[in-house]
Amino acid sequence: MIEIKDLHKSYKMGSNSLHVLKGINFKVEEGELVAIMGSSGSGKSTLLNILGMLDGADSGEYTLDGVPIKNLSETKAAQYRNKFLGFIFQSFNLINYKSALENVALPLYYQKVPRKERQEKAMKYLERVGLKPWADHLPSELSGGQKQRVAIARAMAAEPKVLLADEPTGALDSTTSYEVMDLIQKINDDGNTILVVTHEEDIAHMCKRIVHLKDGVIVEDKKVEQVRAEQYV
């Protein structure tokens, strides 16, 4: 599903440049649930940005579902993001004047799905994250866990190939964190490929595979026994 070969990325900081990613080789199969771990500055967010086509790599190859991702125009990148990727953010990033339903429907809007169909689909995904009764609520009327579930529904609405979650539990207490992880696990059980960036050990162990990043290189890549979040809920 995802294949990365010898990925390099550096940032210019005034006169000197900061080498953030120093040759990453990495492969994700369909249906995997991968945790990317590392301390801050290890390059995990940069890697996620490149995977999410929000940033370009300096050198190296990136293939997503057989499509080489290289030299994309803004418009093309927007199309690919819409088609291939679903984002889940630490701070949810819901649009605060849109109801839960409208938030979920937004990626479909950018896919030019007709309004009625959009609403129906969005409702289906809200139901899946257990928030159908809250469909008409604004984000400000929802709890943190509910917001993240709306965000997950939104990420899934466009039926992307890969879900990218950047510290999805970073802003949540542990109980809600486990609820969200339970949801992510269930989505993964349905065959979706998910990448989770986290620095929390227990969250990482709820995935099936952990990739450790340190100073721009992968220092460890291991399959783990998945801890089901269900038992903590």
Q: Which residues bind another protein (CB under 8 A)?
A: 45, 48-49, 52, 54-55, 74-75, 78-79, 81-83, 87, 89-91, 93, 95, 97-98, 102, 106-107, 109-111, 115, 154, 158, 166-167, 170
Which of 156, 229 has the CB closer to another protein? 156
Q: Report d(CA 26, CA 19) in Å as an integer.
A: 18
CB nearer to another protein: pick between 171 and 227: 171
Rounded least distance, CB 231 to another protein, Å: 29
Nearer to another protein, 78 or 219 (CB): 78
Least distance CB 81 / another protein (angstroms): 5
* Least distance between another protein and beta carbon 11 (Å): 11
CB of 225 to another protein, least distance (A): 30
Query: How is the beta sheet containing 33-37 ordered, strand by strand?
Result: 85-88, 162-166, 193-197, 33-37, 209-214, 217-223
Q: What are the structure tokens assigned to 96, written together? A: 């605060």
For residue 110, what are the β-bridge partners? none
203 closest CA partner among 222, 223, 166, 177: 177
Q: Is 70 helix (H, G, I), strand (E, B) or coil?
A: coil
